[in-house]
Structure formats: structure tokens, C-alpha cells
Amino acid sequence: MSEDVPESHPRHTSLVTRERIVEGVKRGLTSHAGLVAQGRGETFDYLLGERTIESAARAERAAAALMLGADHPVISVNGNVAALVPRAVGDLARATDADVEVNLFHRTEKRIERIAAHLRDNGVDKVKGLAGDATVPGLDHDRARVDADGIAAADVVLVPLEDGDRAAALAKTGKSEIVVDLNPLSRSAEAATVPVIDNVVRAIPAMTAHARSLAGRSDVELQGIAERVDADAAREYAERAIRSGDLR
Ligand code: PTJ
């Protein structure tokens, strides 16, 4: 259990995060593949120094502005996100007036129901994803299913830790896509309108803080902030940080 990891441990946060994923698997929220994804994420986070790099901080502000200025923003939640940041997802949804939709790569009705219940237990009032009555074009069978009044109707979708195929297919629908992914070279990050190269445990609370401080800005101002991010430059900055990182 995470309480067993002493706070004095130099990698306390990373170990607690890992424990949350293990717990998520035990509770049937997170897929077994989610463990592998977590391991990959940990590697990139280690190489980034387990901190929010400057370009990611700028992208988080832009992402918040994009969501605030949207007509219908939706936060997509998978098994890893549900285990790691259930409360933070609710906070961001309230701060940006966004829908929350459970949308799984390894889709089972049982896991969707469990995740929806877990999110509700953590203060998310309304959870979509159970209907699955629309599809994202270009994807085969269950991986394509989304809610007609959720992701299918959204103009801005936040997809943390997404599979590359699905992120690319969603981008092709013309929606603006915010991707949180620690790997700047991933196809998901490449598909993003706003790539946030940061750990979801830091990125979602940071986006909420930005959304709160940007509340009340005009649509023109929000659009200006959102457009100021150069997606290619953000990915390149992160790649440089990883390749040249001095971790000692
Ligand atoms: O719950 P499901 O069925 O929807 O499945 C979710 C996973 C994440 C298992 C599924 O979407 C998947 O297989 O994803 P990938 O292709 O492994 O991609 C996950 C990406 O997220 C990788 O590029 C990781 O580096 C990155 N990642 C992992 N943990 C974090 C992360 N990025 C940000 N924060 C993290 N904590």
C-alpha cells in the first residue's frame, strides 16, 4: 500500500504513483497493459527529472485556455487515469465545465462501470461512456466506441495517456486534441493540437489551476493563449530535455 512508502524515500512520489496503478489493477479499474504503460511513463519521467519542464507548463496553460474557450470540452478517462487522478479529473471538469467520459482501449462494460463508479466516489458528478452509441471513424470494433453526446459531439477532447492509433483517428475528425503523454515521440503526442509532455499527476492539477486563474477572460484572449503554443516546438523542447538531461 502507498502508505508504506516512507516520505523520506528519494523517489517517494514515483513509488506512490506506481502503487496507485497496482491498486487500480487489483480493483479492476486498470488493465494489465496499464502496468506496462506506467513503466514506460516512469522511464520518460525519470529522464525528464520528474518535473514539469518549461514547455509543458506553457502547454498546460494553453490547454486550460482551449478547454475554457470550447463549446463542448470532454475529458477522456481510461484505466490508468482513473487510478492515478480521479479527484483531479473532477476538479478540472468543474473548472472548465467539461464532460467526463470513460473511454477504454481494452473496452469491457464491467470495467467502464467500475471506473464510472470510482469517479463518482471521487466527486465526479456525471460520468459518460456507458452508452458507446457512436464511433470514431477509422478504428476497428470496440476501440472506436464513444458516446454520441460526449466525445463524438465535442469540439475539444483531452486524452491523457492515449494509444497512438486512437489519438490519430480522433485528430482526423477535426476536433482539437490535448494529449498528456510523457513520451514526446509517441504518435499520440504527434497527433495533438496541444501536446502536454508531463506526468498526468502533475499536468491535470496544473491545468485546473490555470483554468481557475483564466476564468472570466474573453474568448478572444483565450484563443490567443491557446494558439501561442507551437506543438512541434513543445515536442522538440521535451526531446532535447530528455536527450541532454543532467540527472546527477
Ligand atoms: O484503460 P485502457 O484500456 O484504455 O488502456 C490504457 C492504456 C494506457 C493501457 C492504453 O491506452 C495503452 O496501451 O497506452 P500506450 O500505447 O501504452 O501509451 C501510453 C502512453 O502514456 C505512453 O507513451 C507512456 O509513456 C505514457 N504514460 C504512461 N504513464 C504516464 C504517461 N504519460 C503521462 N503520465 C503518466 N503517468
Domain of 218: which CATH number? 3.40.50.12640
Task: Give the cell for residue 151.
Answer: 466525445
What pLDDT does 151 receive? 98
Judge whether 155 lies within some domain: yes
What pLDDT does 182 receive? 98
Closest CA to ligand 1's atom 34: 199
Judge whether 193 lies within some domain: yes
Residue 43 Cα: closest atom of ligand 1: 25
Using a 6 Å cutoff on CB, does residue 238 contact ligand 1? no
d(CA 45, CA 47): 5
Judge whether 73 lies within some domain: yes
Judge whether 74 lies within some domain: yes
Amino acid identity for residue 233 in this structure: A
Q: Report pTM.
A: 0.96
Provide the domain limits for residue 158. 54-244
What pLDDT does 3 receive? 56
Q: How far is the CA of 151 from the centre of ligand 1 (A)?
A: 19
d(CA 134, CA 17): 33
Q: How far is the CA of 107 from the centre of ligand 1 (A)?
A: 14
Number of domains the chain is built from: 1
What pLDDT does 87 receive? 98
Q: Give Cα separations from 140 to 75, 108, 216 (angstroms).
A: 22, 15, 41
Q: Residue 195: enclosing H or E segment and its boundaries?
A: strand 194-196
What pLDDT does 191 receive? 97
Q: How far is the CA of 179 from the centre of ligand 1 (A)?
A: 11
Q: Determine the distance from the C-alpha atom of residue 2 to the mean position of all C-alpha atoms in its chain, rounded to a whole number.
A: 22
Judge whether 209 lies within some domain: yes
What pLDDT does 5 receive? 72
Judge whether 12 lies within some domain: no
CB 173 within 8 A of CB 90: no
Judge whether 33 lies within some domain: no
CB 55 within 8 A of CB 212: no
Q: How far is the CA of 46 from the centre of ligand 1 (A)?
A: 16
CB 175 within 8 A of CB 194: no
What pLDDT does 11 receive? 76
Which of 178, 195, 174 has its CA nearest to residue 239? 195
**pLDDT averaged per 10 residues, the chain (length 248):** 68 87 98 97 94 96 98 98 98 98 96 98 96 95 94 98 94 97 97 98 98 97 96 96 77
The residue length of the chain stands at 248
Strand 156-160: give its sheet, edge to edge.
99-102, 73-77, 156-160, 176-180, 194-196
Q: Give Cα separations from 48 to 1, 9, 12, 247 (angstroms).
A: 26, 19, 16, 8
Judge whether 156 lies within some domain: yes
Task: Give the cell for residue 44.
Answer: 520518460
